[in-house]
Amino acid sequence: MITSLAFSLTALLAMLGLLRVWRRRDRVSHAVRTGSWLLLFGITAGWALVEGPEYGITFALLLFSLVAIAVLAATAAWQSPAQPAKTETSQPLLESSGGAAFGTFMVIGPLAATAMAFLSIALIGLMPISRVSGLAIAAFLFPLAWAVVATIVSMRNRKGRDAVVLGAVAALSGAYLYFPVTT
Amino acid sequence: MAWLSPQTVKSALLGHSAIGLVVGALMYLLCLTGTLLVVAEYFERWQQPLIYEAPAFSREAVTQAVADGARRLNAPAESVWAVFPTEFLPRGHIAVVGNNGGEQEWWFDSDGNLGEPPAEGLAHLLRELHYYLLLPHTWGMVLVSALGAMLVALILTGILAHPKILRDAFHLRLGRGRRLEQIDIHNRLSVWGLPFHLAIAITGAFFGLVGPLVLIAASAFYDGDPETVYADVYGDDPVLEATVQAPGIDSALDWMATELPEGDILYLVVHHPGQRSQFIEIAAELPGRLAYSEIYRFASDGQFIGSQGLTDGPTGRQVLYSVYRLHFGHFGGLPVRIAYLLLGLALTVVSVSGINVWLAKRGGRSRVNDLWSGVVWGTPFALAVAAGISLLAAKATIGAYVLASILAIVLAVRTADETTARLRLQFLTGATLLAIVTGYMWVYPMDKLPAAVLTLNATMLLLAMWWLRPLQWASRRTRGNTACIGKKSF
């Protein structure tokens, strides 16, 4: 309890330090910033030592997020709605909606999922690790890879070319899995 | 991130918007229900507040309850589960799984007598929504996990689309116009909640997407048998042959108490009860470990066989078995639950503010604004209605939720003004919560209610008072006379 309280107060101190110097460039600010990050790192290491790495690192990350949001809420620059607000410009619907990107994502998203699922499993066979570890890696690699590909595809907005590339990845991975070359 | 070209930033923003729009409403629903599920046990206790509670049960009670449970199933049982009390759910319950897959459950008391079955009320609805979006389970879970992967994509595109997101990490401007405010809230909560959001997204994606992966792995490496894949990853069940006898629960619990006093027993299973292949498993949470549990196996007479290696086996197995606790915050006690509640709420706000930003940027208003208002404010209303119905007829909870959701959306669309729709739905939610708490406290004697239930009622009462506060209505009425009412919403 006392440890948690000490870590929480230290995290608050570090976060206030970061807030104070966040966008400043002078030497003192640099020192405060470095010190604050070191404090946060120290809390993580300390908690990992006390509670074990699994709990300790998780506790520290949760605490930093909460403290930062609390600091942010407490120091928010609030302006009464009665004062004139900054003029907001509206954009036409199509320009801001990313309608084309929406369509691309809907079409290519499922194909990307299929390709990444096959690729993730195919990589197990290529990696010099046990089957269990390979499957564990694939279980996390698949959603991550799908997310990265979905990101790239929705940014590029080139349906045809991306469909061909993803189709090829799925076909090659499938061929590797189901028609292995034996020597 | 000055190395990003303006074109890349623009593309990332388009991608971010596109993915956000595809998943927006469902993501909100998942975030909200996930946040509430952090305290799922409280809802279970609230549903049936007078069930016997104790921090621990005697082994005689457990043995008696297991035997009684096996007897009550009018068919051969595949397994009998005795679930032990925990800090958040200090109740014992028995689940019997029949050979045909059917399942029956009962709470049990200090003497091991079986009582009421657990009610399928609000906690059940929240799980059905968060795990499956009320769809058939296989497809629902895949869809929910796909949304987890899309949350990862949203995080990536979000970082790429906002080159100044780190520089402005402490810059929160409230009250300076709706769009600016929503953008700041969205970006600041996103950046400071990033580790939590990533952990939730990746672990959430794992649960359902592992199914299709297992099918591919099974067809490629395991002769098409998915069960072999699971056995390889999580460890196989022992195959035993012994004379038929009463399960040696006493001996097994003795071993646990002697050899593993620091282990916190979660449940005990008697597999194939009354058969030659009978064996016992005890799952225990180990201190400092995120793995859901270690599983210890015992022969029919209670002699220790070995453990499943979930906390000391292959690294991959340990990692995979740690996903559940990390996703739901079921570790570290009450402080972690509170942290998950707050950060889950923050993620819910991020999902709503993202669409709000898009609506504000779009300019003007259309039916989409009303629909979104109906979804955002209709969901708490529907959950409140479902909570009330669950107390009267637990089986009707899901139906009540669906019906109330539809009504809320219809109300919002017919109102055709998101501010008025929001106020109406908040009023309805507040009134529903007030009615529920009043009725609840009238039916159940307060001195017999556990602290968790009282806390939940107090929270509902506070929410009701907040949404019914006269000040809100007075100020809105005044503002309603101005022409710009549609600008402030959600």
Model confidence over B6-30: pLDDT tens digits? 888 888 888 888 888 888 899 999 9
- At residue A156 the predicted structure's pLDDT band, cuts being 50, 70 and 90, is confident
Other C-beta atoms closer than 10 Å to the C-beta of B68 total 17
A154/B320 touch (CB, cutoff 8 Å), yes or no: no
pLDDT, position B488: 42
Which pair of structure tokens corresponds to residue A112? 């990307």
CA torsion, points B410, B412, B415, B420, in degrees to nearest 10? 160
Is residue B281 within 8 A of residue B296, CB to CB? The reply is yes
What integer pLDDT is reported at residue B188 of this predicted model?
92
Find the mean pLDDT for residues A16-43.
Answer: 91
**pLDDT band at B3; cut points 50, 70, 90:** low
Rounded-to-integer distance, Cα B186 and Cα A42, Å: 29
**Whole-complex ipTM:** 0.84
Phi-psi region at A41: left, alpha or beta (left = phi > 0; alpha = psi -120 to 50) = alpha
Q: What is the pLDDT of residue B8?
A: 83
* Percent of chain A residues topping a pLDDT of 90: 38
DSSP assigned state of B118: P
Paired sense of beta strands B264-271 and B77-83, if any: antiparallel
From chain A, the residues in CB contact with B156 under 8 A are 147-148, 151
pLDDT at B234 over 90: no
Is the pLDDT at A91 greater than 50, yes or no? no
Say if strands B294-298 and B304-307 run parallel, antiparallel, or are unpaired: antiparallel
Whether B279 and B298 have beta carbons less than 8 Å apart is answered as: yes
Best of B361, B368, B372, B482 to disrupt the A interface by mutation (most A CBs within 10 Å)?
B361
CB B80 within 8 Å of CB B96: yes
Torsion sign over Cα B285, B307, B233, B227: negative
* Contact partners, residue A89, CB within 8 Å, separation at least 6: none
> Chain B contacts of A78, Cβ < 8 Å?
173-175
Percent of chain B scoring above 90 in pLDDT: 61
pLDDT in tens, B60-70: 999 999 999 98
Residue percentage of chain B with pLDDT more than 70: 95
Q: Which amino acid is it at B448?
A: K
pLDDT-derived band at B471, boundaries 50, 70, 90: low
| Least confident segment among A23-32, B189-198, B322-331, B475-484 | B475-484
Q: Chain A 24-43, CB below 8 Å of chain B: which residues?
A: none
**Contact indicator for B251, B49 with CB cutoff of 8 Å:** no
The beta-carbon neighbor of A76 closest among B15, B172, B210 is B172
- Taking chain B, what is the end-to-end CA distance rounded to the nearest angstrom? 32
* Cα–Cα distance measured from residue B159 to residue A12, given in angstroms and rounded to the nearest whole number: 25
pLDDT grade for A102, boundaries at 50, 70 and 90: low
Q: Which of residues 133-162 of A touch B (CB under 8 A)?
A: 133-140, 142-144, 146-148, 150-151, 153-157
Q: What is the mean pLDDT of residues A46-53?
A: 92
More confident residue, B339 or B476: B339
- What spatial distance separates the first Cα and last Cα of chain A, rounded to whole Å? 62
Query: Is the pLDDT at B317 greater than 60, yes or no?
Result: yes
Q: How much is the pTM?
A: 0.89
pLDDT of residue A159: 75
Tokens 């623009």 label which residue? B10
- Is the pLDDT confidence value at A181 over 90? no
Check A51 against B288: CB less than 8 A apart: yes
Question: Residue B393 in contact with residue B366, Cβ under 8 Å?
Answer: no
What average pLDDT does range B149-169 have in this prediction?
A: 88
Structure-model confidence comparison of residues B385 and B120, the more confident one: B385
Q: Do B210 and A139 touch (CB under 8 A)?
A: yes
Residue type, B176: R
CB B133 within 8 A of CB B29: yes
The predicted-structure confidence for B371-419, as pLDDT tens digits, reads as follows: 999 999 999 999 999 999 999 999 999 999 999 999 999 999 999 888 8
Q: Hunting for tokens 């005044």 — which residue is that? A: B478
Beta strands, E only, B286-402 = 294-298, 304-307
**Range with the poorest average pLDDT among A106-115, B242-251, B349-358, B473-482:** B473-482
Residue B129: closest CA among B25, B20, B29, B22: B29
Q: How far apart are the C-alpha atoms of B418 and B422, rounded to whole Å? A: 6
CB under 8 Å to A24, separation ≥6 — which residues?
Answer: none
Average of pLDDT values for A160-166? Answer: 87
Q: What is the token pair recorded at B467?
A: 């949404």
Q: Predicted confidence band at B112 (pLDDT cuts at 50, 70, 90)?
A: very high
Residues of B in contact with A97 (CB under 8 A): 17, 21, 358, 362
Is the pLDDT confidence value at A84 over 50?
A: no
More confident residue, A77 or B237: B237
Take residue A71 and report the two structure tokens written for it. Answer: 């600091």
- Ranges of beta strands (E only) in B239-309 are 264-271, 279-285, 294-298, 304-307
The answer, for B416 touching chain A at a CB cutoff of 8 Å, is no
Q: Which residue of B has its CA nearest to A108?
A: B19
Cα Dmax for chain B: 83
Cβ-defined contacts of B297-300 (< 8 Å, 24+) = B297/B238, B298/B248, B298/B251, B298/B252, B298/B255, B299/B240, B299/B242, B299/B248, B300/B240, B300/B242, B300/B243, B300/B245, B300/B247, B300/B248
B81-102 pLDDT, tens digit per residue, is 999 999 999 999 999 998 877 8
pLDDT at A76: 78
pLDDT category, B296, cuts 50, 70, 90? very high
Indicate the pLDDT class of residue B486, thresholds 50, 70 and 90. Answer: very low
User: Stretch B436-442: mean pLDDT, rounded?
Assistant: 95
A108 near B CB under 8 A: no
CA B459/CA A54 separation, integer angstroms: 32
Beta-sheet pairing, B264-271 with B279-285: antiparallel
Top-confidence residue, B475 or B109: B109
Across A117-121, A132-136, B32-36, B305-309, least confident range: A132-136
CA distances from B73 to B37, B59, B66, B80 (A): 30, 22, 11, 10
**Strand boundaries in chain A, DSSP class E:** 77-78
What's the mean pLDDT when you consider all of chain B? 89
Least confident window among A165-169, B176-180, B324-328, B446-450:
B176-180
Q: Which two tokens stand for residue B281?
A: 């498993």
By the 8 A CB rule, do B23 and B205 touch? Answer: no
For B144-148, B169-173, B262-266, which range has the lowest pLDDT when averaged over its residues?
Answer: B169-173
The larger pLDDT score, comparing residue A85 to residue B455, is at B455
Which residues have C-beta within 8 Å of that of residue B206, sequence separation ≥ 6? A139, A140, A143, B145, B148, B320, B323
Residue A48 confidence class, pLDDT cut points 50, 70, 90:
very high
The reply to whether residue B335 touches residue A98, judged by beta carbons under 8 angstroms, is no
3-class state of residue B371 by DSSP: helix
Distance, CA of B93 to CA of B109 (rounded, Å): 9
Q: How far apart are CA A35 and CA A16, in angstroms?
A: 12
